[in-house]
Structure 1
Amino acid sequence: MTLREQLIGAWQLHSYVEVPEDGSEPFYPLGTQPKGIIMYTPDGYMSAQLMADGREPFAIADFYQGEPEEYVAAGSTYIGYSGRFAVDEQKQTLTHSMYVSFFPNWLGQTQPRAVSLANGVLTLGPTSPIVSRGKRVMSRLVWHRAESA
């Protein structure tokens, strides 16, 4: 079975850690118990939605009437993007192309991912260090195959 075929379906986020190149302590951007779903469709689309556990609701139930501090708190604990994906079977790598993204800087980008998949566990990360919180880091996101709904 090809890597692409193995990716198809939904995956639940198990962990997300950033390991700084400078040897400082690893960081958990969404806490130690993040929640998330990443989905890959047979026709070549993907969607990733990740968030910290225990996010506070807005004071009022109107998406467009939150206080500035509520938007800051919500935005700093959420990652979301969707678009096309492609697999290089020979190199066993994956790319995500951002058609929509919560982080506007990613719009239109195609980002490579290192990928490992075995026994229902998918591990993704960048192919080279990224900058996060002012440090060069390697991210590692571990996903488990989601149960059928």
Structure 2
Amino acid sequence: MSSSPFSGTYRLVSWENRLASGEVIYPMGDNANGYISYSSDGFVWVHIMASGRHNQQHANPFECTPDEAVATALSHLSYCGKFEIDKGQIIHHVDICSFPNWVGTPQIRDWSVADGKLSLSAKGIPFRGQTLDAYLIWEPVGT
């Protein structure tokens, strides 16, 4: 069982990806919404979505049009699984994910806590012939 020096639930403050060229990309806009929660029994849950998502035509989530399905997939990311801390990194072992390629993979993040905020980063991610570094800042819920 893992424990965490930052157990609890955090709200997303910002998520930006920086390309090697210096360009900054906001994958779900510069005002994305999200939560990450680390439980004392060693599990992590992450949900991030773009703000201003549009409702679909039908009340049933399985009756969307192809265009609605694409918009939904590109505006929400969620995953969960066990986590462990190893040498200044946190490893999320993905069991369930809205992006199927991550299922069964370790998502490795550098982390730090400063001024009560949790910073997570992933470095060297291949992206359209370049690499990028992802930076996410989270604040505890209730602040």
The equivalent of 1:83 in structure 2 is: 81
The equivalent of 2:95 in structure 1 is: 99
Counterparts of 2:110 and 2:45 in 1: how far apart (Å)? Answer: 17
Q: Deviations over 1:116-135 (max 9, x none)?
A: 11221011011x31023553
Counterparts of 2:126 and 2:141 in 1: how far apart (Å)? Answer: 30
Counterparts of 1:20 and 1:40 in 2: how far apart (Å)? Answer: 29
1:142 maps to 2:137: yes
1:10 maps to 2:5: no
Counterparts of 1:19 and 1:61 in 2: how far apart (Å)? Answer: 37
Q: Identify, as 1 or 2, the structure richer in strand.
A: 2
Q: Deviations over 1:24-78 (max 9, x none)?
A: x200011111100000000000000000000001011111100010010010011
Closer, same or farther: CA 133–48 of 1 in aligned 2, 3 Å? farther
Q: Identify, as 1 or 2, the structure richer in helix.
A: 1
- Please point out which of 47, 50, 62 is paired with 1:49: 47
Count, aligned residues: 141
CA-based RMSD of the aligned residues comes to: 1.4
1:19 maps to 2:18: yes
TM-score (norm 1): 0.90
Counterparts of 2:68 and 2:79 in 1: how far apart (Å)? Answer: 21
Structure 1 runs (4+) deviating above 3 angstroms are: 132-135
Counterparts of 1:133 and 1:113 in 2: how far apart (Å)? Answer: 21
Counterparts of 1:41 and 1:52 in 2: how far apart (Å)? Answer: 25
The equivalent of 1:119 in structure 2 is: 115
The equivalent of 1:35 in structure 2 is: 33
The equivalent of 1:74 in structure 2 is: 72
Percent sequence identity is 32
Q: Which runs of 5+ in 1 are unaligned?
A: none
